[in-house]
Amino acid sequence: MLSKTYTKYIQSLHHKKFRDADNAFIAEGSKVVMELLQSPVFSCQQVLGLQQWMQENEMLIRTTYRGPLQVIENFELEKITALTTPNQVLAVFKKLKPIPVDPKGKISLVLDTIQDPGNLGTIIRIADWFGVEAIICSDNCTDMYNPKVVQSTMGSLGRVNVVYTNIADWLKKNEHIKIYAAALNGKKISQLKGITEGIVVIGNESKGISDEVMQLCAEKITIPKTGHAESLNAAVATGIILSHMVQ
Amino acid sequence: MLSKTYTKYIQSLHHKKFRDADNAFIAEGSKVVMELLQSPVFSCQQVLGLQQWMQENEMLIRTTYRGPLQVIENFELEKITALTTPNQVLAVFKKLKPIPVDPKGKISLVLDTIQDPGNLGTIIRIADWFGVEAIICSDNCTDMYNPKVVQSTMGSLGRVNVVYTNIADWLKKNEHIKIYAAALNGKKISQLKGITEGIVVIGNESKGISDEVMQLCAEKITIPKTGHAESLNAAVATGIILSHMVQ
């Protein structure tokens, strides 16, 4: 039986204010929870799962996790979930300490005001696919520990270093690295190939890259359009640009 | 004042069964509604908007639409919306008649059991960006008129012909066109360039392409992975593959 106090505690973690105060966040669903439990960087506080899920997964969980496991009922999961359709298991993890990013000799991503949690999570997953180690988010990007972000990363959260900062200041400090801006009127991405060092800036879903940040970029790059859509989804654009840079 | 009957009618259109029965669907938000109103293929039955939105947009709406405009209150919009955060305007449109697809001389997309509405909507928007005219969905793909699909297309719905059918039968009829399967162990996408004719098959979010459909594909193609994520989001993968084919 889940106590009222602990139920309220988990519900509070749906909100950034309380995640910051408690330095904790929730992950949900079998795939994401198992990946984070097996990640060497995350520390888990508590796993809460339906009986059948717990029976099927306890042995595997115990290979990496020694903390509390609690069997809960469906109605209890429904109270604490942040998903529309709760998915068998929810776990509470400690947030990570951000690691300072050195962009030398690698490709890094900078996100300017990405506000949709699904987009941020998908971008983290894309970075993990293409071996991008770090994402530098503007302070007003959506929180990486928002439950919907955690869900969309599909477990990549432990393999990409995500930091929040004033991105204009950060870019100024790293002007010796070439900075590319995803824009509508730049060089065709097919001309980018075998790039091993660079910073790629992706802008807000509707407003693009802010003027202040755009001025710090050395080159605009563009995904050529052969049809009629006004724009591409920010995560899709990120995936396309990275796929051309690293090929 | 919105009548109870009309409120219930719009709420019924949140569900596929009633969209099919009434041959109608809803679109929401200024950007999507305006694009569909200006599209030559869609016929609108009713526009319901908040007073301020209606005042700002009435002149523009009237350049293409002569039907009923109804000013509604915030609380009424909240009753009829399918969005978590309602967005100023909702309109009811007639569904389109699907047009048979001839894949000769162009690139077409086939979707095998795409179930996430956000993914389907984003794929329609990607197709529109890259000038892909037709998407052939398996009968068990999510409905293209699901409000979340309509929302994620960002207005591209009128520019891409989306049809539902038995895709195995459809592929057999079109075996003279080269069929590419997005898979994990195929030819690198960087080797695809300047392709002007072909059918690209994208599989289900977790299970990929079904065996029956995979057997009909001439070539597997793959987005090379340099990091550690297990997979890419289906819409992101579609965008990456198309961007390499058309370059």
Q: Which of A122, A240, A241 to mutate to test binding with chain B, by most B CBs within 10 Å of its CB? A: A240
Beta strands B89-94; A24-28: pairing state:
unpaired
Which pLDDT belongs to residue B2?
92
Cα torsion at B192, B196, B198, B203 (round to 10°)? Answer: 60
Q: Rg for chain B (alpha carbons), in Å?
A: 20
Are the C-beta atoms of residues A104 and A177 closer than 8 Å to each other?
yes
**Residue B83 forms contact with A (CB below 8 Å):** no
Mean pLDDT (whole number) for A140-165 = 95
**Residue B122 forms contact with A (CB below 8 Å):** yes
**Residue A41 forms contact with B (CB below 8 Å):** no
How many H helices and E strands in chain B? 10, 10
Give dist(CA B184, CA B243) in Å, integer: 18
pLDDT in tens, B62-110: 999 999 999 999 999 999 999 988 999 999 999 999 899 999 999 999 9
Query: Among positive and negative, which fits the CA dihedral A242, B151, A142, A87?
Result: negative
**Residue A139 forms contact with B (CB below 8 Å):** no
Among A224, A225, A239, beta carbon nearest to B236: A239
Give dist(CA A5, CA A182) in Å, integer: 46
Give dist(CA B24, CA A212) in Å, integer: 45
Burial of B164 (0-12, 13-18, 19+ CB in 10 A): middle
| Stretches in chain B below the pLDDT threshold 70 | none
Q: Which percentage of chain B shows pLDDT scores above 90?
A: 91
Cβ distance B130 to A231 less than 8 Å, yes or no, reads: no
Give dist(CA A53, CA A221) in Å, integer: 46
Q: Which residue carries 């938000």 as its tokens?
A: B29
Residue A224 pLDDT exceeds 90:
yes
Q: Give A187's contacts in chain B (Cβ within 8 Å).
A: none
DSSP per-residue codes, A145-181: TSHHHHHHHTTGGGGSEEEEE-HHHHHHHTTTS-EEE
Residue A141 pLDDT exceeds 90:
yes
Q: Rg for chain A (alpha carbons), in Å?
A: 20
Cβ distance A227 to B128 less than 8 Å, yes or no, reads: yes
Beta strands B161-165; B134-138: pairing state:
parallel
Give dist(CA A165, CA A138) in Å, integer: 5
- Going by pLDDT thresholds of 50, 70 and 90, the confidence category of residue A1 is confident
Give dist(CA B6, CA B12) in Å, integer: 10
Mean pLDDT (whole number) for A80-105 = 94
Q: Which of A236, A241, A246 to mutate to test binding with chain B, by most B CBs within 10 Å of its CB? A: A236
Residue of A nearest to B124 (CA): A229
Q: Which residue carries 């080159």 as its tokens?
A: A219
**Residue A100 forms contact with B (CB below 8 Å):** no
Give dist(CA B49, CA B81) in Å, integer: 11
Its pTM stands at 0.95
Which pLDDT belongs to residue B241?
97
ipTM, two decimals, is 0.94
Give dist(CA B33, CA B77) in Å, integer: 15
Mean pLDDT (whole number) for A35-49 = 95
Which pLDDT belongs to residue A160?
96
Q: How many Cβ atoms are within 10 Å of B20's Cβ, its own excluded? A: 13
Which pLDDT belongs to residue A19?
98
List, as own/partner pairs, every contact residues A46-51 make where C-beta atoms lie below 8 angstroms and the sequence separation is at least 24, other chains included.
A46/A70, A46/A91, A46/A92, A47/A89, A47/A90, A47/A91, A48/A2, A48/A10, A48/A72, A48/A76, A48/A77, A48/A80, A48/A89, A48/A90, A48/A91, A49/A88, A49/A89, A49/A90, A50/A74, A50/A77, A50/A88, A50/A89
The angle, 0 to 180 degrees and rounded to 10, between the axes of the packed helices A234-246 and B234-246 is 50
Are the C-beta atoms of residues B90 and B28 closer than 8 Å to each other?
yes
H-helix or E-strand spanning residue A12: helix A4-12
